[in-house]
Amino acid sequence: MDLKQIYREIVNEHNLHPGHKHDLISPTYVLEGVNPTCGDDVNIQLKLDDKGVITEASFNGSGCAVSQASSDIMMDQIIGLTKEEALRLVDTFMAMVHGTVSDEELETLDEAAALQDVAHMPARAKCATLAWHTLEKILKEE
């Protein structure tokens, strides 16, 4: 898919009308991710219950349409997952970016799979992965 099509069919909707761009009240984890090449930042907020299930997830910050859409799509998909399931999803997303993902795995990414082509554009891969890298950092380190 060419870039303009990706914008029109996936990115614009999430960028202009994000479902998860707001602050959480008393989140369990908060972490800021920064893309040093552009100075964009994403602030990821998660609420986990005592079983380790992500019950609420949101983001804030400033960034391009690709990074905003990728963040919003990620939030859609991680709510309801356990820490381990969310980490597996991050691994699959990164595998897609690196071009090592299988077709079955790609299906588990659901809407995030639509970012495959933009994630392969060298200039934009960092925009697509910013939120995912930040999530990985939270779940692995916290």
Partner 1 sequence: MDIKDIRADFPILSDERYIYFDNAATSQRPRQVLEAVADFYKTTNANPLRGLYEWSVGATEAYEKARVKVAQFLNAESETEIVFTRNATEAINLVAYSYGLYNLHEGDEIVISIMEHHSNILPWQMVAEKTGAVLKYMEYDEKLEFSDEELSKITDKTKLVAVTYVSNVLGVTNPIRKIAKLAHEKGAVVVVDGAQSTPHKKVDVRDIDADFYAFSGHKMLAPMGIGALYAKKKLLEDMPPFLTGGEMIELVTRDSATYAEVPHKFEAGTVNAGDAVGLAAAIDYINDVGFDFIEAQEKKLTALTLSAFKDIPYVTLYGAEEAERHSGIVTFNIEGCHPHDVSSVLDSEHICIRAGHHCAQPLLKYIGVNATARASMYFYNTEEEVERFVEGLKRVRGWLGYDV
Task: Tell me which residues touch partner 1 (CB under 8 A).
Answer: 2-4, 7-8, 12-13, 15-16, 37-40, 62-66, 121, 123-124, 127
Q: Which is nearer to partner 1, 13 or 85 (CB)?
A: 13
CB of 98 vs partner 1, minimal distance in Å: 21
CB of 4 vs partner 1, minimal distance in Å: 5
Q: Which is nearer to partner 1, 7 or 95 (CB)?
A: 7
Q: Which is nearer to partner 1, 71 or 92 (CB)?
A: 71
Q: Please, which contacts does 42-45 make with residues 24 or more away whose CB atoms are closer than 8 Å?
A: 42/67, 42/71, 42/130, 42/131, 42/134, 44/71, 44/131, 44/134, 44/135, 44/138
CB of 40 vs partner 1, minimal distance in Å: 7
CB of 7 vs partner 1, minimal distance in Å: 6
Residue with tokens 């983001």: 59
Give the DSSP H/E element, type plus range, for residue 46. strand 40-48
Q: Which of 23, 20, 31, 140 is nearest to 79 (CA)?
A: 20
